[in-house]
Chain A
């Protein structure tokens, strides 16, 4: 059914169609509308046979999901940013225990300075936790990925985090196609846990493991992700067959066949990137893009095959690994190891800074002219940075950085 609804609502309704049995949540912007929607759907009885538990923290939210999942219930939670970090210990634990929990992450920056807007610092902080991490490009995909996520999670017995860009997707009203319950039921069988708390067959779950076996257990977690790498295309094909549309997969490539420059990114910014590509293509530039859906597991081999055909790669990423640069670009370099193509990092959209077509086009043109730096910071205000650097050189106690910059930009006065 076609509906013009908010992204968060679309996600909530998709979760409902997946017949969750335990939902636990703690509010944080921009995830709130999702869990509000779900509490309404549970209370109205639209989602049947489901416990909705309001907890006191994200740490508890995921912990409740861990208990419920270990006891055989299909479990879901959602968070963003600070909330993901607050539950960090449980994030690793859920993966270590192999519990197929699905979590929506409404991607948001991490403070300080506190910031509610979108970037990917949150999901990146948990990238090695053992969770499968999928990124949605638009609201339709956000909806679809959740249905895929439960199937994938339960097949490989591994938790899945569905990344949905905060505000840009969670709060955008778009037309989405909501599947019918029978369609989802035909795609997603009931949850059959591989290990469960059961009176008839009492097991101890979560034992202490020493040096004699820990490495093997960790390798098996890695192996699980490699299995997911194989299952994602298969399940996505099945999804296409049952729902009649393309969603998921390891990545989507756009006009890459003859592309000299290929742009790579995660999530919603791919829409903007495609628009720029279309414009540049009409100007004769051979440019294409890859929108990565599966960041963990990272499709090293499949990406290498596509990317090795290009002359140059430009990675647009919404995170900054301070002290290193870009995380996605490091991963791309890993996919291309031994090859000569340069991989450029473009750090963009931090803390919700708009990524405009104009700025992207400038960067891509620079790439064609061989003028793009190794690491480019999109639309950074160098004046503000230099003023602050001067200030801190002049006086050791030069004041709080964030406030200084805001004052320089006139932000504080404007708001006062």
Chain B
């Protein structure tokens, strides 16, 4: 198989940081991102906000996928921030074949692209569909479930920033309880998003019995890359759900995107795990769990919870209970070995 002439030299301006994948460690343990020959599938010049977690997550994931399958990747994108900030006509930040059709059909379009590559006798080309949490858990859910159920040969990546960010931060079914959005404002009897709603898409994906499901975080680069690489080693329907903080929607500092993502994992609200054919096969342990309030405090969308009072205490406790339940379910806090 001939090498595709896609790789380009990346200029790193940092001296060595965790975000570019530990260029200071030995060569084997380095991340794809730390390599100057990384693909930069989503290259610079796009129009994401400063500190956008989605822009980071997409580059991490697609570069890892490109590395894993010899640069033979095509992507289908749902409407949303990622699509809008990467392709303002006539510019594009995508260095790979890329197709945007609609908000709710990325999974089905990807099924079509995959079918075409098969009939064209090019099964070595791998197809990725990607979208935001709204395009995945809400409007695109029907197409996604169909793609899963048919076990179509597509990796679907959801960049979860917990809301409809492109349209100005409205609630999605991935918005956490109590979070303030433009359609769950922090006013009235129950400020912010309500408890007892929303859906857990990784678990729904698992219920389809598809070969591979994983969650990942932009704060855990090696883990994210390893999961994408693993996903590309399977054929059939695969799903990776990446948490990507959105400074604009979350009201967090653009400089602290990675930190916010890390706190979300460390408190147990966003568990990192893998599942194969519906069974959890691994989870990333949390070494020193932090209380959820340390995560909540970093974002203005939870500011109304910080005003004290019994009611707010009760809500924070309920969020803590969700984190605790994740810790129990995925065995996130383990005895030292």
Contact = CB atoms under 8 A, between A and B. Distances in A.
Interface stretch (B145-153, B197-205, B281-289, B298-306): B145-153
Contacts of B76: 67
B108 interface: yes
B83 A205 contact: no
A207 B111 CA distance: 20
A60 B4 CA distance: 32
Contact of A64 (B84, B90, B98, B108): B108
Given A75-B112, A208-B88, A198 B97 contact: yes
B146 A56 contact: yes
Interface residues of A, number: 43
Contacts of B104: 59, 89
Given A199-B125, A210-B88, A210-B89, A71 B98 contact: no
Q: In this complex, which of A70, A71, A75 has the most chain B Cβ atoms within 10 angstroms of its Cβ?
A: A71
Contact of A63 (B105, B120, B125, B149): B105
Nearest to A65: B112
Main secondary structure of the interface of B (DSSP, over half): mixed
Interface stretch (A45-53, A141-149, A219-227, A342-350): A45-53
A71 B74 contact: yes
Contacts of B72: 199
B143 A56 contact: yes
Contacts of B150: 53-55
Contacts of B99: 67, 70, 197, 204-206
Contact of A68 (B77, B102, B112): B112
B117 interface: yes
Contacts of A66: 101, 105, 109, 112
A196 to B, nearest CB: 8
Contacts of B108: 55, 59-60, 63-64, 67
B113 A70 contact: yes
B78 to A, nearest CB: 11
Given A203-B97, A204-B94, A205-B100, A71 B83 contact: no
Given A22-B119, A60-B146, A208 B97 contact: no
Nearest to A75: B112
A290 interface: no
Given A51-B118, A63-B105, A70-B99, A56 B145 contact: yes
Nearest to A49: B119
A202 interface: yes
A47 to B, nearest CB: 11
Contacts of A69: 112, 116
B142 interface: yes
Contact of A22 (B88, B112, B142): B112
B96 interface: yes
Most buried by A among B72, B86, B112: B112
By size class, the interface of chain B is: 35 or more
Contact of B109 (A54, A63, A72, A208): A63
B71 interface: yes
Contacts of A6: none
B336 to A, nearest CB: 47
A197 B120 CA distance: 12
A21 B113 CA distance: 12
A75 B119 CA distance: 11
Nearest to A97: B101
A42 to B, nearest CB: 11
B119 A51 contact: yes
Contacts of B109: 63-64, 66-67, 70
26 contacts: A51-B115, A55-B108, A56-B149, A59-B142, A63-B102, A63-B105, A63-B108, A63-B111, A66-B101, A67-B112, A68-B112, A68-B116, A69-B112, A70-B109, A70-B116, A71-B74, A71-B120, A93-B101, A93-B102, A197-B97, A197-B98, A199-B72, A202-B6, A204-B98, A206-B99, A206-B100
Given A64-B115, A197-B74, A207-B88, 14 more contacts: A22-B112, A22-B115, A51-B115, A51-B119, A54-B150, A67-B76, A71-B113, A71-B117, A75-B116, A93-B102, A206-B87, A206-B99, A208-B88, A210-B88
